[in-house]
Chains A and B, each alone.
Chain A
């Protein structure tokens, strides 16, 4: 680095002081957590020296325990898709509490347009609409779902951008409204029996492919497009963004729309995977999605975070869930442990921020 030629008090660039990417910390945390579970598996008396990550069976020559890995990632994929949207909302300085109930409502609505007429040779016992809504092309439920998501997102965004009520309140209201829609849609009855094509959207490992594909897309969007740059700018300093000529209100509406469309898409995949839609679907999803983002280093004050971080956060989330089951921790304690870990992640982030600030 060139030295300043004038006596201007410009600091030299010190490589040692360069902040180290937060994503690396999460990756290390992920590896440490896996290591801890591996160690617990080897040492806890009731575990019979099982391995958490590696394949210990004699008759297979695979290195990893692929079944577990598959379950871990499959488990987090659908909430992970929601987390991709939540990440953008939080980076822009907001919060979205409505994504979980939105999953429930969207699943109900979408499934009504994805039903098949004949079930085991008889008429569909759970038909919502009449004959016209049976065996529609697969695109119709997808479009209906995404449109519903876009609408809810546009309402969220407009409320936040134009009435300037806090995002927490706007999306909390939408939380209740969406849960209400989900329950009112069929008066609480589940909607089932989708067409074969629709069922294919979320079967097998499809949710994982969707999650990874969307993660790559939104990683690029946040990093390489004007939309991404403005999202960070608004979360970082809204006044500066406004002074710079960014249409902050329009941008916020767009961010919430994208987030809700991702949640709606998660609902499509989830209902397809489960072959049914129930009004109670997606309970706690909004909180899990926020947790994934937060574990992944997305700062709740806005301006900081990344899709890579959130994907890693989702993996940490999945590994912990799977690990608790693996060490046979009672399901009743899992939620508590999860809560402790989320708080821990935020505290660590805070400490890291303050250390960075005092280093100046």
Chain B
């Protein structure tokens, strides 16, 4: 396994005349947790969408796990090992936890039956419980349907997917934006578990306290450019806010803002 899990060089995305993302050079090491911060429209989500294949980049290269990649869609990215927890949860409300975790990639028996191949419920339940334990997600009853769960539990189910499929990289876009205090804590605990397991993470967040609590490094976006790359231990909230608002610009990024 290579030391660098994800690297982008000159990643650029133009929407017509709008330069949403310009020359983003970004490196993520294995086992590292990085936060992406920035004001609305700074290019955070655009950046995530290029990596996960939701959109096609205008320019630049993405190297994932040592290989140049061109994802045609989010499914390609997922198959390569990038799991994304989106702001809007992609869960089917009427299905239970294992069904949702394995949606579209069910464990099956008698595959010659084509679309009518049988589901291996037992194996999927076992894998679900294992995944939940690895992420320390607490869900009282995995056979419960999603619609009977709280927002926090739903978020946990979405996150547990990443663990169940031992993905190489997890991306979370505002995972706690809609959650209460206790539920936020639950999600943060999962993130800590991922850290302990040495699984790399990109966290998009507005929550300064959360970012300083959880990650090793903070990358700040402003007006479509990366304007700062800071070690969480060497910086503070004031500093990060200055970069976000443009009051301050990193030395190596002079002229970018």
Q: Are B116 and A225 in contact (CB under 8 A)?
A: yes
Contact A224 B182 (CB under 8 A): no
Q: Is B126 an interface residue (CB 8 A)?
A: no
Q: Is A94 close to B, CB under 8 A?
A: no
Within 8 Å of chain B (Cβ to Cβ): is A123? Answer: no
Contacts of B139 in A (CB 8 A): 10
Judged by a CB distance under 8 angstroms, whether B207 is at the interface is no
Flag if B93 contacts A236 (CB, 8 Å): yes
On whether the beta carbons of A254 and B115 are closer than 8 Å, the reply is: yes
- Write the A318-360 contact mask toward B (1 if CB under 8 angstroms, else 0): 0000000000000000000000000000000000000011001
A252 CB, min distance to chain B CBs, angstroms: 12
Does the CB pair B95–A4 fall under 8 Å?
A: no
The verdict on B4 contacting chain A, using a C-beta distance below 8 Å, is no
What are the interface flags for A199-226 relative to B under an 8 Å C-beta threshold, 1 for contact and 0 otherwise? 0000000000000000000000100111
Whether B103 pairs with A10 at a CB distance below 8 angstroms is no
Q: For chain B, residues 73 to 121, give those with C-beta under 8 angstroms from any C-beta of chain A.
A: 74-75, 78, 86, 89-95, 99, 103-106, 108, 113, 115-119, 121
Given A232-B94, A245-B104, A246-B103, A224–B119 Cβ distance below 8 Å? Answer: yes
A4 to B104, CA, bound (A): 30
The residue of chain A having its C-beta at the shortest distance from the C-beta of B103 within the complex is A244
Residues of B contacting A196 in the complex (Cβ-Cβ under 8 angstroms): none
- Encoded as 1 (CB less than 8 Å from any A CB) or 0, chain B from 151 to 166 comes to 0110000000000000
Q: Is the CB of A229 within 8 A of B136?
A: no
Q: Are B150 and A11 in contact (CB under 8 A)?
A: yes
Given contacts A224-B119, A360-B150, contact A8 B113 (CB under 8 A): no
Interface check B197, CB cutoff 8 A: no
Quick check: A6 and B136 within 8 Å, CB to CB?
yes
Q: Quick check: is B216 within 8 A (CB to CB) of the other chain?
A: no
Give the distance to chain B from A219, nearest Cβ to Cβ, in Å: 13
Cβ-based interface call for A239 (8 A): yes
Does the CB pair B186–A10 fall under 8 Å?
A: yes
Given A19-B148, A226-B108, A226-B115, A240-B94 contact (CB < 8 Å): no
Determine whether the beta carbon of A10 is less than 8 Å from that of B138: yes
Alpha-carbon distance between A227 and B119 when the two chains are bound, in angstroms? 9
Q: Is the CB of A240 within 8 A of B148?
A: no
A41 at interface by CB-CB < 8 Å: no
Please, which residues of chain B bring their CB within 8 A of the CB of A224? 118-119, 121
Please, which residue of chain A has its CB at the minimum distance from the CB of B121?
A224
Alpha-carbon gap, A233 to B99, bound state (A): 9
Let me know if B186 and A303 touch, CB within 8 A. Answer: no
- Nearest-neighbour CB distance to chain B for A162, whole angstroms, equals 18
Flag whether A237 is at the interface (Cβ < 8 A).
Answer: yes
- The reply to whether B78 and A245 form a contact with Cβ atoms under 8 Å apart is yes
Q: How far is the CA of A8 from the CA of B137 in the complex (A)?
A: 9
Q: Complex Cα distance A360/B183, Å?
A: 15
Tell me if A13 counts as interface (CB < 8 A to partner B).
yes
Does B40 lie at the interface of the complex (its beta carbon under 8 Å from any beta carbon of A)?
Answer: no
Q: Give the residue of B89, B147, B153 whose beta carbon is less than 8 angstroms from that of A11.
A: B153
Contact B117 A7 (CB under 8 A): no
Tell whether A1 pairs with B116 under 8 Å between CB atoms, given A245-B105, A246-B104, A304-B94.
no
B74 proximity list for chain A (CB < 8 A)? 243
A239 to B103, CA, bound (A): 12
Residues of A within 8 A of B147 (CB): 356-357
> How many A residues touch the partner, as a band?
35 or more
Question: Known contacts being A9-B185, A13-B140, is A236 close to B95, with CB within 8 Å?
Answer: yes
For the complex, is A172 an interface residue (Cβ under 8 Å from B)?
Answer: no
- Asked if A7 contacts B106 (CB within 8 A), the reply is no
Is the CB of A241 closer than 8 A to any CB of chain B? yes
Assess whether B182 is in contact with A9, with CB atoms less than 8 Å apart.
yes
Q: Does B144 contact A (CB under 8 A)?
A: yes
Asked whether any CB of chain B lies closer than 8 Å to the CB of A58, the reply is no
Min C-beta distance of B103 to chain A, whole Å? 4
A356 touching B148, Cβ below 8 Å: yes
Any A CB within 8 A of the CB of B180? yes
A13, B144: Cβ atoms under 8 Å?
A: yes
CA of A244 to CA of B74, assembled, Å? 9
**A61 an interface residue at 8 Å Cβ cutoff?**
no
Interchain CA distance A177-B186 in the complex, whole Å? 56
Q: Are B113 and A12 in contact (CB under 8 A)?
A: no
Contact of A225 (CB < 8 Å), options: B92, B115, B140, B149: B115
Complex formed: what's the CA distance from A235 to B92 in Å? 9
- With A224-B118, A224-B119, A225-B119 given, is the CB distance from A232 to B105 under 8 Å? no
Which residues of A sit under 8 angstroms from B113, Cβ to Cβ? 225
Q: Which residues of B contact A19 (CB under 8 A)?
A: 145, 148
A92–B81 Cα distance when bound, in Å, is 29
Complex Cα gap A173–B32 (Å): 57
List, in ascending order, chain A residues with CB within 8 A of B249's CB: none
Contact B90 A237 (CB under 8 A): yes
Some 30 contacts from A to B, beta carbons below 8 A apart, are A1-B140, A1-B141, A4-B138, A4-B140, A7-B185, A8-B189, A9-B180, A9-B182, A10-B139, A10-B153, A11-B153, A13-B140, A221-B116, A225-B116, A226-B106, A227-B116, A229-B106, A232-B92, A237-B90, A237-B91, A240-B90, A243-B74, A243-B90, A246-B103, A303-B92, A304-B94, A356-B147, A357-B147, A360-B148, A360-B149
Give the top 3 A-B pairs by smallest Cβ distance, nearest first. Answer: A9-B182, A244-B104, A13-B140
